[in-house]
Amino acid sequence: MLGYSQTIYEVFVFTKKACRRIEPKVEVETKLLPLGAVTREHWRQVGQLQGRLAVSYLKFRYGSANTYVLLAYFGEELVHAEWIVPAEKIKGRYPFVADGSYSIISCLTLQSFRGLGIYPSQIQKVVKSNIQAETFWIWTASTNAQSLKGIGKAGGIKVGEFVQKKWLWGCISHIEYFPERSSNR
């Protein structure tokens, strides 16, 4: 089938109560900003890290007054970014996300800074932040061993899996969620 793919994702939840504390192996400065406070320079840096097209799509699809971007800097260099999206903006595509919660999506660490504990420490900063939510959802492809390891280090609790089928290179997609596949492996 033209432009077809199927991916299995593992779904995890974090709560403020169950979140562990991990320090990265390098000192990073974290900025957790609502979209309205992200400057043109921040957007330029995020575009360099995540790709301008991806950032434009994320702003269009998930942008709101309640959406945040986390930026982690090593000195002046942006080494990690992630998006924190309220349930009302993401439930249309991911219906399993609970009302009143947030999702942590599109996390990316600069290649040369991977394996230093930045990813799990930044997840924890989001969960422990002043964002008004009791739960935070995150998911990753079941084949992404590095992300699964980071989510586990940060204290994520597996709550299920979903299968995403895409046609026409992602222009059309369908998600089927399986909460019964929640046992941690």
| SS3 track for the chain | CCCCEEEEEEEEEEECCCCCCCCCCCCCEEEEEEHHHCCHHHHHHHHHHHCHHHHHHHHHHHCCCCCEEEEEEECCEEEEEEEEEEHHHHCCCCCCCCCCCEEEEEEEECHHHCCCCHHHHHHHHHHCCCCCCCEEEEEEECCCHHHHHHHHHHCCEEEEEEEEEEEHHHCEEEEEEECCCCCCC
Say whether pLDDT at 184 is over 60.
no
The string of pLDDT tens digits covering residues 4-27 is: 899 999 999 999 886 667 899 999
Q: Are 69 and 82 in contact (CB under 8 A)?
A: yes
pLDDT at 19: 67
Beta bridge partners of 29: 73
Record the pTM.
0.93
pLDDT at 183: 60
For residue 112, the one-letter residue type is S
What are the structure tokens assigned to 15, written together? Answer: 């709560």
Q: Are 18 and 154 in contact (CB under 8 A)?
A: no
**CATH class of the domain at 5-178:** alpha beta
Give domain limits for the chain: 5-178
What are the structure tokens assigned to 162, written together? Answer: 């979903």
The string of pLDDT tens digits covering residues 137-155 is: 999 999 999 999 999 999 9
pLDDT bin (cut points 50, 70, 90) of residue 173 is confident
Average pLDDT, the chain: 93
